[in-house]
Amino acid sequence: MGTYMCMCMSLLLLVLFTTATATAKVHYHDFVVQATPVKRLCKAQSAITVNGMYPGPTLEVNNGDTLVVNVVNRAQYNVTIHWHGVRQMRTGWADGPEFVTQCPIRPGGSYTYRFTIQGQEGTLWWHAHSSWLRATVYGALIIHPKDGDSYPFPKPTRQTPLLLGEWWNSNPIDVVRQATRTGASPNVSDAYTINGQPGDLYSCSDKDTVIVPVGSGETNLLRVVNSALNQQLFFKVANHKLTVVGADASYVKPFTTSVLMLGPGQTTDVLITANQAPGRYYIAARAYASAQGAPFDNTTTTAILEYKSAPCPAKGAKIKPVMPTMPAFNDTATASAFTTSFRSPRKVPVPTNIHHNLFFTVGLGLNNCPPGASSSTCQGPNGTRFTASMNNVSFQLPSSFSLLQAHQQGIPGVFTRDFPAAPPVRFDYTGNVSRSLWQPVAGTKVYPLKFGESVQLVLQGTSIFTAENHPIHLHGYDFYILAEGFGNFNPSRDTAKFNLVDPPLRNTASVPVGGWTVIRFVADNPGVWLMHCHLDVHITWGLAMAFLVENGVGELQTLEAPPADLPLC
Ligand code: C2O
């Protein structure tokens, strides 16, 4: 009997052991969204954070793992959490954009996000997707290869997430509310941050500057995320070259550069080898500001790459770290040299049989003030109000049902399915645009796609009011970036530039200032998926639309049922 038990036990153990190594893990987290005292730039303030942390907690998982995150809202604002870049296959209810895939979690409410990482490796992040809360409600989501799989590059000695952020010396919700009231553009930020710290070029920030330790000769992985609200950023490390190995949780063909440019929403994984004289080197980020004459925060945030063997300064002395030379604020040549360097590591299955050939203009607009409106509400240029659109539709969120719920339950009157495949009027998009084309029409329109259809989309920037670089993010999908260029997209000339072999796979594309980007994807994930400019000021103005992807055949091509605790409006 005893022997039998023993055999049984060891068999059981064996089974348990095999399951434990072969099965993906489930990670449980609690996120408490709450007002927290945060002191920055000599000023004590209250900021909305997750678990009192700014930035919020870093989540680390392996490809294939499941995340279960219970979000409790103890703040005075509505909140939702978006898992930026996670494909959310069939789990659109966990995507997070307010009024798109769920109604907000009201103060005092809670919601549990449940989703599985499938086939993505590298760096993503999470952030609030309600008003401008993401200014302080964000964190890194690091996806390691499956247990037993390795990186497609030598294993780095250390890994450091570097989240670039943006800080206001006032409540960001008040900043956007004021702009929405006045129609003017919102106040620019007071600082950029690296892992929540502005760094020692700002007042009162010295002692908290982030230190990134490094041993001489080591090769380390920096996971750089642009979490800033409204600004594309250049990123450099003094005297060190960076080898780009991944972006938006897809690997890329490695290339070496001295400078990165990231639009908000984008991530870039780089290897850095400590091959310089032992010392201290600034890691710095500052604006890539492509719009001519528009106000922007022109400050520089820094952290310090510190060699462990760096000589100690004499008592009381201070050795300034080496500062990199940053590109000029308007250095579009450097930005586009960077964005066009990306390739997939090998030949990839770019869709070629295109069902939807789409052309979307992306840009700003100015609404004339309605007659009789108070001038205090018309503080945009020449007594107007700022707006923005795609294909002349300025996106309005619904308020009584989320788009996904309205779609799944067939609730009429929440949205229409007539988002146009092309702009209603053709014009010289990047030329001198007639003022009669500056006022878009407000609407809640989706573009419907059948399951499995393939899409080519030209994102065409406009020069309405001003041309600028737009980081366009698509929820629920990664897409191939086939080409980008300046001026108006011209199919007879520009189709020849398409990379149909090894284009990069991303979730956010930097559409060049006064130019265009062409992307392709297959609609293999049913749900309602927001696409928008990741400059929050532009989403606020309506630079967004949504794709509605129908269910396919059978369970594996069908959106899951909504979770029981899904917040309703
Ligand atoms: Cu990173 Cu719609 O967002």
The 3-state DSSP composition of the chain as helix, strand, coil percent (nearest 5) reads 15, 40, 45
**Which two tokens mark 72?**
């409790």
Q: Is the CB of 134 under 6 A from ligand 1?
A: no
Q: How far apart are CA 163 and CA 226, in angstroms?
A: 6
pLDDT of 311 reads 82
Among the listed residues 199, 271, 189, the one whose alpha carbon sits nearest the alpha carbon of residue 231: 189
Under-70 pLDDT residues of the chain: 1-22, 316
For 22, other C-beta atoms within 10 Å of its C-beta total 10
Return the SS3 of 422.
coil
From atom 3 of ligand 1, which residue's Cα is the shortest distance away? 84
What tokens does 11 get? 């068999």
CA of 264 to the centre of ligand 1 (A): 9
pLDDT at residue number 314: 76
Question: What are the residues facing 105 on neighbouring strands?
Answer: 79
Q: Is the CB of 265 under 6 A from ligand 1?
A: yes
Ligand 1: residue whose CA is nearest its atom 1: 84
Rounded Cα distance between 27 and 535, Å, is 31
Residues 6+ apart with CB under 8 A from 364: 386, 387, 388, 462, 464, 465, 466, 468, 538, 541, 543
Q: Which residues pair with 368 in a beta bridge?
A: 384
Task: Return all residues near 342 (Cβ < 8 A) that are at least 6 apart.
Answer: 244, 247, 252, 253, 255, 481, 504, 506
pLDDT score for 278: 96
Q: Which atom of ligand 1 is nearest to the CA of 96?
A: 2
Q: What is the model's pLDDT at position 7?
A: 40
Local structure of residue 199 (DSSP, 8 states): -
CA-CA distances (angstroms) from residue 127 to 33, 59, 96, 137? 11, 12, 9, 6
Which numbered atom of ligand 1 lies nearest the CA of 84? 1
pLDDT recorded at residue 318 = 74
Mean pLDDT rounded to a whole number for the chain? 95
The reported pLDDT for the residue numbered 75 is 98
**Closest ligand 1 atom number to CA of residue 85:** 1
pTM beyond 0.85: the answer is yes
Residue 461, token pair as written in the block: 């920037």
Which pLDDT score is estimated for 21?
A: 52
Residue 66: closest CA among 122, 128, 20, 23: 23
Type of residue found at 299: T
As a whole number of Å, the end-to-end CA separation of the chain is 61
Which of 486, 479, 545 lies closest to 509, judged by CA?
479
CB of residue 532 inside a 6 A radius of ligand 1: yes
What is the share, in percent, of the chain residues with pLDDT greater than 90? 93
Kindly report the CA angle at 349 between 232 and 351, in degrees rounded to 5? 80
Distance 538 CA to ligand 1 centre (A): 12
- Write out pLDDT tens, residues 124-142: 999 999 999 999 999 999 9
- Which pLDDT does position 283 carry in this prediction? 98
21-74: pLDDT as tens digits: 557 999 999 999 999 999 999 999 999 999 999 999 999 999 999 999 999 999
Is 82 touching ligand 1 by the criterion CB < 6 Å? yes
**Domains of the chain, earliest start first:** 20-151 (2.60.40.420), 156-341 (2.60.40.420), 356-557 (2.60.40.420)
Do the beta carbons of residue 544 and residue 495 sit within 8 Å? no
Q: Is 85 in the pocket of ligand 1 (CB under 6 A)?
A: no
User: Is the CB of 520 inside a 6 Å radius of any atom of ligand 1?
Assistant: no
Residue 315: predicted pLDDT: 76
